[in-house]
Amino acid sequence: MISAEVVGFIAGGIGIFFGLPQALRVRKLGHGRGVSLISWTLQFAVAASWATYGFDSKSPSIMFTNLVALLVNASVIMAILKNNVKSISLLIIYAAIWATLILVLPSAAVSTLLVALNFAQSPQVVKSFHNIRVGKDSAVSITALSVSCFSILIWILYGFMADDSLIKVSALVALSINSLIIALELIGKRKRALDFA
């Protein structure tokens, strides 16, 4: 039988690639219009926090895959900011603050914080709604969000295998928000196509 940690590495390995299509798309287009820097900065905090949770709970799959996701999310932020080198030191400080919070707060507060961080994509929901309303092009990568959803489904399986309610709840929140963004982006894409037809 496959262990929960193997499933965690599969989920995390797939999830690592969540940011790559988005970073490549921003670089290819030369802009980050329609992409929420706030969401990606929060995603960076999510990865830092979950990596620390993985360290604290002795889960190599959660720790390692979120450390790599942290670097991928940083690459998206750097692409949006057009490789502003000053932001590297700020990202390091930001990650250290989140890691410290996870290590020093009581477990109930950590659980609440980790679930709340799964709303990191909420600013993108707002931005996607706005893009539909004004008919703006969007650099949001539906491929990236689809990869993320697939990864999250596997994390839900991990949550059941490891009997980790925090993972299950957090993953369901993240899956719901990502699915909403995909729907909004598809609606926006369809609306823009009809407006130009």
The count of other CB atoms within 10 Å of the CB of residue 102 is 20
Query: Does residue 62 carry a pLDDT above 90?
Result: yes
User: In angstroms, rounded to a whole number, what is the distance separating the alpha carbons of residues 128 and 168?
Assistant: 26
Alpha helices in the chain (DSSP H): 4-16, 19-29, 37-56, 60-80, 86-104, 107-117, 122-134, 142-161, 165-196
- Give the pLDDT score at 1: 61
Output 54 or 189, whichever has higher pLDDT: 54
- Give the pLDDT score at 189: 87
Helix-helix angle 142-161:19-29, to 10 degrees? 170
- Give the pLDDT score at 78: 84
pTM for this model (two decimals): 0.83
- Give the pLDDT score at 166: 94
Collapsing DSSP to helix, strand or coil, 20 comes out as: helix
- Give the pLDDT score at 16: 82
- Give the pLDDT score at 79: 79
pLDDT digits (tens, 9 = 90+) for 100-149: 999 999 999 999 999 999 888 888 899 888 888 887 777 788 888 898 89
pLDDT band at 72 (very low <50, low <70, confident <90, very high): confident
- Give the pLDDT score at 53: 96
pLDDT band at 180 (very low <50, low <70, confident <90, very high): very high
Helix-helix angle 60-80:86-104, to 10 degrees? 150
Give the chain's largest Cα–Cα span.
56
Query: What separation in angstroms does the CA of 62 have from each of 43, 119, 182?
Result: 15, 19, 25
- Give the pLDDT score at 6: 95
Q: In the numeric block, which tokens belong to residue 49?
A: 């926090």
- Give the pLDDT score at 55: 96
* Residue in 66, 55, 49, 52 with CA at minimum distance from that of residue 8: 66
49 touches 117 (CB < 8 A): yes
- Average per-residue pLDDT for the chain: 88
